[in-house]
Amino acid sequence: MSLQNQPANSTFNDIFFAGFLKLLLTYNQNRIVPETFRLDKSRIVTFYNEWQDITILSCLLLIFRQACCSKCTTENILNLKQRLYVLLTSQSTSLKHINLEITNMAGQVRKKEYSTKEIELISGLIEKTLSPENKLYVMIQTRISTYIVHFLNNDALPKELMIRHNMTEMESEILTLSQKIKAVVELNLQTYSEYYKTIFLELKQQKTNSLIKTLNNVKNENKSLTNNKNQDSSSSTSINNKGTTNPPQTSDVSKMKVSAKSETIVNQVSNNSQNNSHDQKSNSQI
């Protein structure tokens, strides 16, 4: 059992009911039954088969509604439901028999027989819809589980919701299945409630710890990002400080120019004096 997909405000009963219904749906895949339900294995198989029958029958009635267009009545649906139920309980029934029953009765309701092409179209639609991976099949199966959970919590089916879903014709079958499931679930809870609550608290604590760990990881990531930003900003400011040097002041520049000029003048004077002395020496020798 996992709490990852459960709402935060889920109660113990909500999680237990959801887990039991998931056990029913997945039983045909893994054939695994918890230790606390080993004595109820035959009942679980029965519940699974009845749930699938209700789902299949609901899908077929939905296709029948579409085939009859707007001329379909509640009496027509109930009549077809009885016929289809007899066919589904027979081992020799095939999809061809179901298709012929639906198209025959739909033709009577709309007062126009179905053509061969229309019968083939309905047959393909039935075959696709009854696949367990089909979205319509999964949707109806999920709706039935919603009705059952509502009954487990309130001892009544959500009739208004079923009316919106056009599932009122299946009320008696869903009610019977819900009552059977509740009897088994309540007895199991009375026997193993303390054991289940211990597991529930452990799973809840694990979920809390995982949330705390996730929050801490997020905080650490935010801190590291902040530190990296601060380091980048400090390095950029140091680079800017190195790149900018103070230009020399105008007075210093003028002083440098004056000193340079004075040096050139002194050099010229010294050169001239040397030249004059040299000329005087040469004249005296002459």
Higher pLDDT, 2 or 225: 225
- pLDDT confidence of residue 195: 84
Q: How many CA atoms lie within 13 A of 164 on its CB side?
A: 5
- pLDDT confidence of residue 196: 83
Mean pLDDT of the chain: 80
Instruction: Give 173-205 pLDDT, tens digit per residue.
Output: 999 999 999 999 999 988 988 888 888 788 777
Q: What is the maximum span of the chain, computed from C-alpha positions, in angstroms?
A: 156
CA 57 to chain centre: 30
- Position 259 in a domain: no
- Position 121 in a domain: yes
Domain that holds residue 46: 12-200
Asked if 57 contacts 130 with a C-beta cutoff of 8 angstroms, the reply is no
Q: How many CA atoms lie within 13 A of 92 on its CB side?
A: 0
- pLDDT confidence of residue 228: 76
- Position 54 in a domain: yes
- Position 147 in a domain: yes
**Which pair of tokens denotes residue 166?**
């056009």
- Position 212 in a domain: no
d(CA 143, CA 284): 135
Name the domain count of the chain: 1
Record the pTM. Answer: 0.68
Q: Is the pLDDT of residue 269 over 70?
A: no
CA 14 to chain centre: 20
Residue among 160, 148, 145, 174 at smallest CA distance from 61? 174
- Position 221 in a domain: no
Q: Is the pLDDT of residue 256 over 80?
A: no
> Which of 127-131, 191-195, 233-237 is predicted most confidently?
127-131
Q: What is the DSSP string of the chain?
A: --STTS-TT--HHHHHHHHHHHHHHHHHHH----GGGGGGHHHHHHHHHHHHHHHHHHHHHHHHHHHHGGG--HHHHHHHHHHHHHHHT-TT--HHHHHHHHHHHHHHHHTSPPPHHHHHHHHHHHHHHTSTT-HHHHHHHHHHHHHHHHHHHHSS--HHHHHHTT-GGGHHHHHHHHHHHHHHHHHHHHHHHHHHHHHHHHHHHHHHHHHHHHHHHHHHHHHHHHHHHHHHHHHHHHHHHHH--PPPPHHHHHHHHHHHHHHHHHHHHHHHHHHHHHHHHHHHH-
Instruction: Give 59-71 pLDDT, tens digit per residue.
Output: 999 999 988 877 8
- Position 7 in a domain: no
Rg value, the chain, Cα: 46
Instruction: Give 105-123 pLDDT, tens digit per residue.
Output: 999 998 888 899 999 999 9
- Position 163 in a domain: yes
